[in-house]
Amino acid sequence: MSDELEFHHRVSQFLFHEVRLIDERRWAEWEALFLEDGVYWAPATPGQPDPVNHVSLIFENQLLRKVRIARFASPAAPSLQPFPRTAHLVTNVMVDRRDAKAVAVSSRFLMAEYRRDAQRFYAGAYSYDLAPSGDSFRIRQKKVDLINCEGPIESSSVWF
């Protein structure tokens, strides 16, 4: 296997593993994939230039992700009962840029969520800024560009 093909395989496996942790509700393991200063971002408009000067659907740093994870574990969160079940599909994984300190990756996704007799679908593009970490990676930023980000979106209780 060529080095480029092997690297692409490692990146793809990392992305597949990341969404598997969400689907299996392995929140602490999912959170551990992020660097301490890592962020999770879902823009509210197509082409939104940044999450700081513009309203976003989601913009979470480590503290906000941990607050959400604690809420998931709390029996005092009736809005999460029953807890949604999800299935994420990730495809079209492309390594866009790579050097010793950073890897830029893009992919497409479809996420199905089922809760309270209703099934919802979310689709779009993922963009990752990954930091190499041994044989794997850590997430510096995960950006979720929903295809309908500017339209009405029924709130999802979990991450896209």
Segment 119-143, tens digit of pLDDT: 999 999 999 999 999 999 999 999 9
Segment 9-21, tens digit of pLDDT: 999 999 999 999 9
- Domains of the chain, start order: 3-146 (3.10.450.50)
% of the chain residues with pLDDT over 70: 95
pTM of the model as a whole: 0.93
Per-residue pLDDT, averaged over 11-36, amounts to 97
CB 33 within 8 A of CB 140: no
Segment 73-109, tens digit of pLDDT: 877 776 677 788 999 999 999 999 999 999 999 999 9
pLDDT, residue 23, reads 96
pLDDT, residue 127, reads 98
Helices (H), 113-154: none
Which neighbouring-strand residues pair with 118? 115
DSSP 147: T
Which neighbouring-strand residues pair with 94? 106
% of the chain residues with pLDDT over 90: 79
- The mean predicted confidence, pLDDT, of the chain is 92
